[in-house]
C-alpha cells in the first residue's frame, strides 16, 4: 500500500535538498525485490527516462514497479511534469508487460499517491 511505502522511505527522502527519483521492483506477490535510484536532480526537478526506469525491472525480472520521488519543497502535490512523465512511464510499462502500480511523491510530513488519486 502507499502507506507501507511511505513508512519505509519517507525517513530516507523527506529531508533531502535534491529531488531523488526511485523505482521499487516488485515480484508477482507484490513483495519488494529491490529499489533503485534512477536520478538525483536539482532542487526542484530530476531527469527520468523510461529506458533507465525499466532497465533493472527487466533484468531482475520484476512483475511490476512503483515509482517514487521526493519534493524538497515539502509540497507533495504532483506537478504537471510529474503527471506527464507518469503517463509516459505507465504506457511504456504496458508495452513491456511491467505495470506501474503507483507513483508516490514524498514530502516532509505528507505524501501523494497517484493510485489513490486515480491518476494512473
pLDDT over 90 (residue 90) = yes
Name the strands in the sheet holding 64-70, side by side, starting at the edge strand that comes first in the sequence.
Answer: 32-40, 20-26, 64-70, 100-106, 111-113
Cα–Cα distance for residue pair 86/75, rounded to 1 Å: 18
Residue position matching grid coordinates 531482475: 60
Q: Structure pTM?
A: 0.90
Per-residue pLDDT at 115 exceeds 90: yes
pLDDT at 120: 87
For residues 102 and 4, what is the distance between their CA atoms, to the nearest angstrom? 12
Residues 71/6, Cβ–Cβ less than 8 Å: no
Amino acid at each position: 500500500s502507499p502507506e507501507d511505502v511511505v513508512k519505509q522511505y519517507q525517513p530516507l527522502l523527506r529531508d533531502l535538498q535534491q529531488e531523488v527519483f526511485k523505482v521499487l521492483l516488485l515480484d508477482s506477490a507484490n513483495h519488494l525485490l529491490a529499489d533503485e535510484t534512477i536520478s538525483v536532480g536539482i532542487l526542484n526537478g530530476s531527469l527520468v527516462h523510461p529506458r533507465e526506469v525499466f532497465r533493472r525491472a527487466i533484468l531482475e525480472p520484476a512483475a511490476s514497479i512503483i515509482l517514487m520521488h521526493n519534493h524538497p519543497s515539502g509540497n507533495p502535490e504532483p506537478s504537471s511534469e510529474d503527471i506527464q512523465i507518469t503517463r509516459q512511464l505507465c504506457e511504456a510499462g504496458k508495452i513491456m508487460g511491467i505495470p506501474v502500480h503507483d507513483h508516490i511523491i514524498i514530502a516532509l510530513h505528507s505524501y501523494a499517491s497517484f493510485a489513490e488519486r486515480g491518476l494512473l
